[in-house]
């Protein structure tokens, strides 16, 4: 039902591994976002891309590295993560960089760092 | 930046009872959006309110934006088991969406 597709849905990785999360939106939107959702915290905005340019980085540790090769695709590269990074990572898109528009979320990647 | 506080954090109701969640801010908000996240799912947009005192309805759901644009509420009449999930308010405007912590609704059949 969603126009935003995330892969993989589940990921278990060791602290020394390198992995990437992928997000693809089929809605023709110009803005894409990465959010982190932990059990006891609200949805935390990590990165915002507008027309393939990063416009916001919410003090995210450098072990998270985003990439936006075009307006339809967004990646989150992960390396040397910590167990506390285990969470649900949600990708979202919106029609325009202005923030009055609704956000469409992907189904998320459930990440477990062991 | 803008922050929104949601109460209650959890709510358990008998099927058929009403439910209300509140979203409050200390600053004037440019808009309020409401999302629902089913267990194991992702947030899904429900509605956006932008005008002072605005009221919108979707079937059994009633959304209100306060006159001062500092608070909002979501009211569900006669809850059903399909209403189970976490309801988030969010605000944006000139900044990316900031979400409240959500209210988790459980409905006991």
**Residue A97: pLDDT band with limits 50, 70, 90:** low
- With beta carbons less than 8 A apart as the criterion, state whether A103 and B97 touch: yes
Best interface-test mutation with A: which of B32, B37, B43, B91 has the largest number of A CBs within 10 A?
A: B43
Residues 6+ away with beta carbon under 8 Å from B83: B19, B76, B105, B107
Please give the residue of chain A at the shortest CA–CA distance from B94: A99
pLDDT band (50, 70, 90) for residue A51: confident
Q: Which of A97, A103, A109 should one mutate to test binding to chain B, selecting the residue with the greatest count of B CBs within 10 A? A: A103
List the end-to-end C-alpha distance of chain A, in Å, as a whole number. 32
Q: Cα A56 to the chain's mean position, in Å?
A: 13
The tens digit of pLDDT for each residue in B32-77 reads 999 999 999 999 999 999 999 999 999 999 999 999 999 999 999 9
Phi-psi region of A59 (alpha: psi -120 to 50; beta: other; left: phi over 0): left
B5, B100 contact by CB (below 8 A): yes
Return the residue matching tokens 């090769």.
A69
Q: If we measure between CA atoms, which residue out of A13, A33, A19, A7 comes closest to residue A77?
A: A19
């Amino acid at each position: 039902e969603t126009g935003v597709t995330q892969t993989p849905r589940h990921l278990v990785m060791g602290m020394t591994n390198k992995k990437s999360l992928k997000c693809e939106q089929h809605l023709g939107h110009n803005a894409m976002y990465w959010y982190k959702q932990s059990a006891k915290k609200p949805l935390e905005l990590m990165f915002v891309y507008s027309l393939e340019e990063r416009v916001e980085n919410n003090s995210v540790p450098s072990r998270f590295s985003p990439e936006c090769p075009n307006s339809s695709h967004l990646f989150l590269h992960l390396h040397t993560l910590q167990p506390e990074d285990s969470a649900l990572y949600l990708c979202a898109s919106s029609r325009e960089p202005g923030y009055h528009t609704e956000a469409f979320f992907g189904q998320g990647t459930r990440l477990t760092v062991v | 930046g803008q922050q929104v506080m949601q109460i209650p954090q959890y709510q358990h109701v008998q099927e058929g009872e009403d439910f209300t969640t509140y979203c409050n801010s200390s600053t004037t908000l440019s808009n309020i959006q409401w999302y629902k996240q089913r267990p194991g799912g992702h947030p899904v947009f429900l509605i956006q309110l932008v005008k002072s005192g605005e009221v919108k309805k979707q079937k059994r759901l009633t959304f209100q934006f306060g006159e001062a644009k500092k608070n909002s509420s979501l009211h569900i009449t006669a809850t059903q088991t399909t209403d189970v999930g976490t309801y988030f308010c969010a605000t944006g405007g000139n900044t990316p969406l900031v979400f409240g912590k959500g209210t988790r609704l459980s409905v006991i059949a």
